[in-house]
């Protein structure tokens, strides 16, 4: 998947000066005045987990949702997922080029996602390419951790400094129910290894679903206290491939916070970054930090500074976009860097004001999280 031609000669395109964007005013700005600084890059739509909130294709997931549908007028859609053809997946050279152009337009943060990014062979080569781009101030990776042990040191040596793991349960059977894999021990070992080899900060994400893992909120926070990392609780969002999401299964951020306050002494962290998605607290007497990301009950769209590149080269201006913008055809059709940049600016200008989860006219995202990238 990492080989192959991008369809154009990268050396034939002019190189934009990443450091000149701020001085020239050449930035990615939308019609609502938001300046985009954060690029999420999905490098594969494949995943080796089948999480209930993303790819709910296991019998355990079906049994859980079936019981809830029986209680009301819920009609899930049949899952008709098809992996993106490998020939449509962007090469490392194409991804590097997009990142370089985006950085010339003010992007400062890049996060590599999937699917499961560690399924992409020789990922460390892409990390090395991106970390060498002047203007990338923050390069991070989100992973389920299953293959992390094989690549931990290579990724660190290539320039990766921050990493986030998905960990939705500390109970082996519940972990298997949620993810479809009996892999809790591998993920726990990966989190420990990340700390040992010098990744900082190490963040651990848990999607909280009522009646599935909300009873583990306290134990997950205690796990962060015991090991001194950042634990982030995320509201359940309508991004699953089966369209099985129900608002009744969302545990609101305020409820999560209330439960945490009953067992821990939390001190709010004041941030000067209005685009930060998580509200944060330290836990008194520990090195741990708690974050709560509440896009359903407390949307932060007004300060969103993100844009997404899918594995098959589509630009998405919101997780819940119903429209995607085809960048791959331009990359492989001879467009210059300036033309790519102009296209990005045009697409970003029309970025949605916000999602409409919970509104009568809400339309689910056109693809599931595994295809979009987290």
pLDDT at 358 over 80: no
pLDDT score for 352: 85
pTM to 2 decimals? 0.86
**Is 165 within 8 Å of 205 (Cβ atoms)?**
yes
When mean pLDDT is compared across 17-31, 66-80, 251-265, the lowest value belongs to 66-80
When mean pLDDT is compared across 194-208, 239-253, 306-320, the lowest value belongs to 239-253
Distance (Å, rounded) from C-alpha 133 to C-alpha 126?
A: 11
**Arithmetic mean of pLDDT, 238-243:** 63
Task: Say how many C-beta atoms besides its own lie within 10 A of residue 46's C-beta.
Answer: 18
**Is 90 within 8 Å of 117 (Cβ atoms)?**
no
pLDDT at 37 over 50: yes
pLDDT score for 74: 46
Tens digit of each residue's pLDDT (9 = 90 or more) over 68-112: 655 554 444 545 557 789 999 999 999 999 999 999 999 999 999
**What are the tokens at 275?**
């685009």
Say which residue, 370 or 331, is predicted with more confidence: 331
Cβ within 8 Å of residue 268, ≥6 positions away: 279, 280, 281
Domains and CATH numbers, the chain: 30-372 (3.20.20.70)
**Arithmetic mean of pLDDT, 357-369:** 64
Residue 143 C-alpha from the chain's centroid: 9
Task: Categorize the per-residue pLDDT at 14 as very low, low, confident or very high, splitting at 50, 70 and 90.
Answer: very low
**Arithmetic mean of pLDDT, 338-344:** 98
pLDDT at 355 over 60: yes
Mean of the per-residue pLDDT values for the chain?
Answer: 86
């Amino acid at each position: 998947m990492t080989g192959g031609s991008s369809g154009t000669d990268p050396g034939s395109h002019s190189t934009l000066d990443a450091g000149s964007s701020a001085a020239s005013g050449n930035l990615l700005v939308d019609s609502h005045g938001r300046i985009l600084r954060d690029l999420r890059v999905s490098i594969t739509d494949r995943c080796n987990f089948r999480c209930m909130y993303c790819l709910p294709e296991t019998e355990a997931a079906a049994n859980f949702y079936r019981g809830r549908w029986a209680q009301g007028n819920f009609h899930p859609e049949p899952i008709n997922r098809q992996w993106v053809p490998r020939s449509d997946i962007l090469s490392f050279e194409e991804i590097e080029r997009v990142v370089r152009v985006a950085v010339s337009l003010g992007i400062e943060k890049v996060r590599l996602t999937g699917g499961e990014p560690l399924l992409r062979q020789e990922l460390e080569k892409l990390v090395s390419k991106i970390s060498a781009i002047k203007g990338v101030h923050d390069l991070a990776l989100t992973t389920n951790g299953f293959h992390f042990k094989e690549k931990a040191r290579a990724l660190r040596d290539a320039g990766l400094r921050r990493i986030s793991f998905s960990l939705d349960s500390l109970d082996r059977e519940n972990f298997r129910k949620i993810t479809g894999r009996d892999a809790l021990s591998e993920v726990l070992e990966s989190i420990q290894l990340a700390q040992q080899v010098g990744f900082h900060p190490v963040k651990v994400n848990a999607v909280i679903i009522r009646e599935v893992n909300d009873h583990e909120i306290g134990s997950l926070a205690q796990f962060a206290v015991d090991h001194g990392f950042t634990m982030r609780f995320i509201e359940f969002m309508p991004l699953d491939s089966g369209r099985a999401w129900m608002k009744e299964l969302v545990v609101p951020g305020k409820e999560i916070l209330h439960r945490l306050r009953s067992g821990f002494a939390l001190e709010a962290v004041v941030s000067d970054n209005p685009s930060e998605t998580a509200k944060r607290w330290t836990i008194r007497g520990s090195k741990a930090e708690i974050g709560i990301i509440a896009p359903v009950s407390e949307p932060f769209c007004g300060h969103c500074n993100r844009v997404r590149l899918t594995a098959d080269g589509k630009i998405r201006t919101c997780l819940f976009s119903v429209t995607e913008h085809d960048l791959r055809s331009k990359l492989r059709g001879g467009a210059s860097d300036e033309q790519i940049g102009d296209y990005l600016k045009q697409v970003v200008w029309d970025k949605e004001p916000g999602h409409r989860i919970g509104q009568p006219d809400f339309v689910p995202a056109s693809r599931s999280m595994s295809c979009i990238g987290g």
